[in-house]
Amino acid sequence: MAETFPLIGRMSGVPELRARLAELSLELPCDESILAAPASPLAEPLEVAGLTIGNRWCIQPMEGWDGTKSGLPTEHTVRRWRRFGQSGAKLIWGGEAVAVRHDGRANPNQLLLAEWTAAALADLRAALVSAHRERFGNDDGLVVGLQLTHSGRFSRPNEKSRLEPLIAYHHPLLDARFGIPPDHPVLSDVQLRGYIDDYVKAAETAWNLGFDFVDLKHCHGYLGHELLSAYERDGDFGGSFENRTRFLREIVAGIRAEAPNLRIGVRLSAFDLLPFQPDPAQSDGTRLGPGIPVPADGALPYPAFGCDRLDPLAIDLKETARFLELLDALDIHLVNLSAGSPYYNPHLQRPAIYPPSDGYQPPEDPLVGCVRQIQATRELKARFPQHAIVGTAYSYLQDYLPQVAQAVVREGWVDLVGIGRMVLSYPDLPADCLERGELDKKRICRTFSDCTTAPRNGLRSGCYPLDEFYKRSEERRRLQQVKRGE
Ligand SMILES: Cc1cc2nc3c(=O)[nH]c(=O)nc-3n(C[C@H](O)[C@H](O)[C@H](O)COP(=O)(O)O)c2cc1C
């Protein structure tokens, strides 16, 4: 039987959460009540890279798997971006992952930055900004970035069900997990240089479209992140730290030459650990077992970034700190810290009480997952006060998200608090906190993971349990059939 954990939504209040944190030996500050502006630390503006971010709430990039085959936004995409604008958060970190080239799309419905999509992406940004203006009367302090990506190992550009992996190296565990044969070609240095040009071109376009910054995505197992662990790769992009970060450095050099006024940010998986799988001894056709790590025998030293390579269930932030030093040297001070990957260790990346269909029952109280990311971020923030750091993995805190968010910002553990899944169920949570100091409990994300299960099964993402728009959709019926195994 999978272990069960206390449900946050059933807790009687902050004292019970604090007691649970103490029981788990987790250190996490949590205020007694939600503070409205101006008393809330989350209402404070922040200056970074010559930009003024109007408050400390950030909307994380949240993809909807709802673009057209040619990479254009649809009405679903526009609706989501408008809701980001109405949230009250003043930092919009990237909107969602946008591929810099077709073969790097994570799914056939991922947005693409190309000549034929540029005007539509400008409209998407404008829709977000005007929704913000309609709701708040102005767009002062609103900063909007665009997340640029190449999905590398996790590319599925043509068919939802067909992985077309573009790999930086053969991985001792992930190749087998995702069916990549030993003779599958590895991306050449020449190909990577071509991709660098694509990033630079995309960034230049983003600048022309009015985005305040681009995020050069280095997280979640996608190409930029995979290159950071290319310890065994030959050539210019593998081996030494210098080579493993060459992709980033060359993209940055190109952007500085072509769009010198464009700000750059980086979203980074600060640590990564072994892949997890449902315990086969506790799984059957109808039930996912609790997550257990895939045995690392024969895979040591294990190739992951921010991990003790000889003990790959332990975090090691030495190289992560070196990476943040490099960002400083590159004059990049917008940093968003995440962890792991949704494809092989989702409990690290997006702690949830109910797993997605390709996941496993939680191997730990998901609070442990939240605090693991928050503490790693705290450690890095203490070492790099010069970076404006966005923290991740707050949605599972549910009713207590604002009280924790304001406490960690006050204590200087992080500069901005990012919300991911919560923005799908309850987009204006930041505004409710800042204006009223109150939450609408009916809209709190309970981490059912339908927003991940849906796209894993070819459907659009969205909050199927709580957002009426998705709740009433035809796709919800299909999602329910999938969940029943039909
Ligand atoms: C449906 C869905 C879509 C996501 N899309 C992106 C994305 O496009 N880019 C990205 O960097 N992270 C993406 N993420 C990860 C989130 O930004 C965030 O890191 C994660 O959900 C954990 O934060 P939370 O606890 O607030 O949900 C996505 C997550 C979900 C559930």
Distance CA(112)–CA(158), nearest Å, equals 13
Distance CA(434)–CA(437), nearest Å, equals 6
Pocket of ligand 1 contains residue 61 by CB under 6 Å = yes
Q: Rounded to the nearest 5°, which phi and psi values hold at 58?
A: -130, 140
Cβ pair 227, 150 in contact under 8 A? no
Distance CA(480)–CA(279), nearest Å, equals 24
Dihedral angle of Cα 122, 127, 128, 133, to the nearest 10 degrees: 120
pLDDT for 284 equals: 84
pLDDT for 51 equals: 97
Cα-based distances in Å from 468 to 129, 420, 423: 23, 18, 14
Neighbours of 44 (CB within 10 A): 15
What's the average pLDDT block by block, 10 residues per block, for the chain (486 residues)? 89 98 98 98 97 98 98 98 98 98 98 98 98 98 98 98 98 98 98 98 98 98 98 98 99 98 98 97 88 96 98 98 98 98 98 96 98 98 98 98 98 98 98 98 98 97 98 96 90
Distance CA(4)–CA(34), nearest Å, equals 29
pLDDT for 286 equals: 79
Pocket of ligand 1 contains residue 401 by CB under 6 Å = no
**In what helix (H) or strand (E) does residue 47 lie, and over which residues does it extend?**
strand 46-48
Token code pair at residue 4? 């069960």
How close is the Cα of 448 to the center of ligand 1, in Å?
Answer: 14
Pocket of ligand 1 contains residue 453 by CB under 6 Å = no
End-to-end CA distance of the chain: 24
Distance CA(62)–CA(81), nearest Å, equals 9
- Residues 284-298: tens digit of each pLDDT: 877 899 999 999 989
Pocket of ligand 1 contains residue 151 by CB under 6 Å = no
Q: Whose CA is nearest to atom 16 of ligand 1?
A: 420
How close is the Cα of 238 to the center of ligand 1, in Å?
Answer: 28
pLDDT for 485 equals: 86
DSSP for residue 165: -
